Every structure is written in C-alpha cells, then in structure tokens.
Structure 1
Amino acid sequence: MATKPGHPAAPSPDRDNPLFNQSLEKGLEVLRAFNGVHRTLTLPELATLTGMTKSSAQRTVHTLEALGYVDKHPQTRRFRLTPRVMEIGYNYLAADALIPVASPYLSQLAAASGETANLTEPVGLDMVYVAQLMTAKHMPVLTPVGMRIPMYCTSSGRAYLSTLPDAQVREMLEQSERVARTPATLTDVAAILARVEECRTVGYASNEEELFLGDMGLAAPIVNSQGQAVGAVHVSPPASRWTMADARKRLAPLVQECAWAISRSIAH
C-alpha cells in the first residue's frame, strides 16, 4: 500500500507473514486517512488516499460504519469519524505508565516556567503529545494531546534523537521528508545533526520558529533505567514573550531538571 500524502512514516509491515491481517491494515488506513485537512471524505477520496480499490474501500468503510467508528453525514453523504475512535487513543493514555509518573513534575515545570509543559513520546519519525500541563497564558499554537510533530525540526524530537547512535540518527533523518515548515526550518541532515550533537553537550535541544512561526522549543530527553529514551519534556516559549537567549538561560535548566526527575522516578 502506497504512502499517503501527509501520513507519517510507519514501520514496514511484514505482509509475507501468514499471521498478517490485511483487512485490519485496510481498516486502520481508512481511520488514519481522516485528519485536520480531510475532516470528511467521499468513498473515491478514501480509495485514493489509502491506495485501495473503490470496492475494497467500500467494504472497509461499511465495516467501520457498522462498528460505529465512521458514519455518513445525512446531508452531504460524506464519511466522517465518530467520537468512538477516541476510545482507542484514550485506552493508550490510560495504560501508559509514564504519564502518571510525569504529571506532577510537568505541573511543577509549568508553575516554575509560566509556560505550558509538554510530554511527548516517539512514534516512527515523529513525536506525539501524550500529556500537557497548561498555563493561563496565551498559546500562539494549538498543540493538543494526540498531535504528532516531526523529530527533525522540533526540540523534543532532537532531544530524543540525541540519545541514539549517530548512524541511527542519520538514517532516521534521511528517511524524514524534512520539509521547510517555515523559512527558519533546518532541512540539511548535517545541520540537524549538529543541533542533535549540541543537545548531547548542553543537555537540552532547541528549535527557533522551525515548526511554527512565533513558536520556539526547549526540550530534554527522558531515559529509563537502561539508559534508553522513552520520551521528552519540552516547553514552547512564544517569541512574543521570550528571546531564545533568555529562554536558554531561564527555561532550559527547568526543562532539564524536570526530565531528570522523571527519568529518576521511572528508573526505580
């Protein structure tokens, strides 16, 4: 099945394995076809986005509709996701042991920094928001739990990458699309590797308006007792309130302390 526009890279499925269920794969592809750009879809659009034939897409959508994960708008006749889809994501969050451990430390970070504290975990070549402690201050960019952001141009992604061997980091960066999200986005592999190496030296990663204009990022990795990264903590100070120099001086130590405290807690 071809990679769809806007879909992050996923692990290559072992389709030759007799245990591999292609019908389930198709169902998940249909669910993943809906997003902020494609809020509703027709059957032909679903077939195009998923790389299925129209008949295969029809059978898959009918099954998902019968199960309550998809429905059809009564006026437009376009398909859309139902709230039942959220059960799957919620079940992951409820079972994730890292979130309850990290939450009190994220709360402390938000209170000390005055900025929203975020916990992200790696998924393929992306980081996904799994917890967030918000402040009352205005946030220029909406980043809800469940949102995915690319590793190559984000502080949390670079913090995670900093814990991996150079060869693996390079391979992951080369596999990434490395689209210029803003005029400031680094897309050259060597330039991004330099930022990852800087994180190893100073203990935190950064990005300055590389993902969203007006939005910066400072992050530190969370590692388990085996020294393996399981996620990252980050804050996103807006350029309207912070310069990068001030953020590095005042916020970076708080982010590092938060990540270290979480890492120490999960190591025991």
Structure 2
Amino acid sequence: MNDNNDSLFNQSLEKGLAVLRAFNATQRTMNLAEIAAAADINKSSAQRMVHTLEQLGYVRKHPQTKRFQLTPRVMEIGYNYLAADTLVDVANPFLAELAQFTGETTNLTEPEGLDMVYVARFVAPKFIPIHMPIGSRIPMYCTGSGRAYLSALPAADTRQILEASDRQAHTRHTLTGITDILREIDASQQRGYALNAEELFLGDMSIAAPILGSQGLPVAAVHVVVPSSRWTLEEAERKLAPSVIECARAIRASIRTL
C-alpha cells in the first residue's frame, strides 16, 4: 500500500483496486482471508472492499463454495481503455495486413511498468504454441517486443528498467545478465528489430520492431509469433523481419498525436 503523505491520495480506492488485482490465474476464487493476504490489507478492510465491489457488480460470491470471484463486468474497464486507445485503432489494419502476408499471428503490445501488455492481436489459423489473450503481460527483458521497445529508449532508461526487473530464467535459453541483455538490445537497435528465441516459452520465438511516437520515443511494439515448429530463427529473420519493420513504420506514420 502507498504510504505517502499526499492529501489527495485516496487509500480506499487503492485498496479496492488491490482487491481486483489480487484475482488471477492462480487465485481464481478466494475467501476473505485469502483476499486480505493477496491484496496486502487487513481482513476488515478486505470485507468492506469486497462488499462494495459485490454491490457494484465487479465481484460475486459462489452460492455453493461461498468463495469470491471476479465477474465479467471487470472487463468493462479494460475494454474502455482499448476503445479509447488511438494507437489500437491506427494499428489494427496494419496488423491484419501483416498477419495475412506472413501467415502468422501478429501482436501489438504497449509498455506498463517493467512489462509489455497485449492490446491487439490477429491470430493466424495455424497452430501457435502459446495463447496470449488481450491484457496478457510479458516481461520486457526477455521478449522480442520488450527488447524492441527498450532498444528505442535512452540508454539510461533501458538500464534502469533492466536493473529493476526480476530477471529469472524462464527457459534454458533465457538471458538474465544485464550485460548479455544489453548486447542483444544494442544489436536490435542496429538492425531495427528485436528477437526472442524461446526465452520466455519453449517453442515460441518472435520478431519485433518498436513503434515511435510523435516525440521520437517508443510507445509500443509490433511483433510476429514465429513457432519453432515451422521456422528457424534465421529463416524468419530473412523472410519476415523487413515486413515487421515496415508495419511498425506504417503505424508510426499514421499516428497523429499520442
């Protein structure tokens, strides 16, 4: 919880949002004690927050288990963001064209903290090893889209993000050392696109390029999923990288103000 002395800061709202964020794929349903622990608030606060959210329709109690879970109404908040995001509207036709040309799944991700968040996705009819729905988060340090974004930031900002990241090894291919990751980011900057070779998920590779905003700083990244069952990384670079770069540039050219 935030402990600053900002007189305008609403701690009740903070606690309510913490309760909503406490639910996830590993904690789909919880009782009050579990909610309090997950949200890092006391049980009485958890009870007030859950009651309010239940009355507003964002949380419900299962009639048999008596455990709480989120309702579909929570998605309204995320949908409103996507509906208001000019970048998504601009990018969608270019992502669709890229998906048609490559025959593979294309994605748009935006930065949030130390992660990239999926905000648009065109799924190819072919099998892809990993399903990443809209709203999914992936760490910047070990993903193509994250490194593409980092490659367009000032060097000091890039290093700060890497130092703050929990650089764990998700697979045997994951780079975790800052020097090694910076070397990859420098290479990405030189060639105009970034790579991920099974560093987050086995069988899942990607080619990504940053999308720059009106101030010349990155605002998002576009990437194509390259399953190792159909591509070698070298072949994908040769055949797909130019199209990924062109897609990112076309989106940038169509952005008026961000």
Whether the TM-score (by the shorter chain) exceeds 0.5 is: yes
Residue 15 of structure 1, CA deviation:
3.0
Among 166, 169, 173, the alignment partner of 2:155 is 166
CA distance in 2, matches of 1:233, 1:37: 28
Q: Which runs of 5+ in 2 are unaligned?
A: none
2:12 alignment counterpart: 23
2:171 corresponding residue in structure 1: 182
2:92 is the alignment partner of 1:103: yes
Amino acid aligned to 1:136: P
**Gap regions ≥5 residues in structure 1:** 2-12
Count of aligned pairs between the two proteins: 257
Q: TM-score, normalised by structure 1?
A: 0.94
Q: Distance in 2 between matches of 1:208 and 1:249?
A: 15
Instruction: Show the counterpart of 2:138.
Output: 149
Residue number among 216, 233, 239 corresponding to 1:244 in the alignment: 233
Distance 2:205 2:24 in 1: 25
SS at match of 1:216: strand
Task: Tell me whether 19-28 or 132-141 shows the greater mean CA deviation.
Answer: 132-141
Using the TM superposition, give the Cα deviation of residue 50 of structure 1 relative to its aligned residue in structure 2, in angstroms.
Answer: 1.3
Please tell me the root mean square deviation across aligned C-alpha atoms, in Å: 1.1
Cα deviations by residue, 1:77-132 (Å, 9 ceiling, x for unpaired): 11100000000000000000011111111011001111011000000110000001
In the TM superposition, structure 1's runs of 4+ consecutive aligned residues that sit over 6 Å from their partners are none
Q: CA deviation at 1:225?
A: 2.0
Kindly indicate whether residue 221 of structure 2 is the aligned counterpart of residue 232 of structure 1.
Answer: yes
Structure 1 CA distance, aligned partners of 2:62 and 2:4? 34
- Post-superposition offset of 1:56: 1.0
CA distance in 2, matches of 1:14, 1:132: 38
Work out the CA distance in 2 between the residues paired with 1:128 and 1:72.
Answer: 29
- 8 Å contact from structure 1 (residues 209, 215) kept in 2: yes
Are residues 1:205 and 2:194 paired? yes
Of 171, 177, 193, which residue of structure 1 is paired with 2:182? 193
**1:183 Cα deviation (Å)?**
1.1
Is the partner of 2:21 in helix, strand or coil? Answer: helix
> How far apart, CA to CA, are the structure 1 residues paired with 2:81 and 2:59?
20
> Would you say the 8 A contact 1:118–1:234 is kept in 2?
yes
State the identity %: 61
Q: Which residue of 2 aligns with 1:10?
A: none
Q: Give the alignment of 1:80-119 within 5 angstroms.
A: 80-119=69-108
Q: Deviations over 1:8-63 (max 9, x none)?
A: xxxxx573210000000000001001111111111111111111111111111111
Partner of 1:35 in structure 2?
Answer: 24
- Correspondence for 1:53 among 38, 42, 50: 42
CA contact 1:14–1:20 (8 Å) conserved in 2: no
Q: Separation in 1 of the partners of 2:172 and 2:37? A: 31
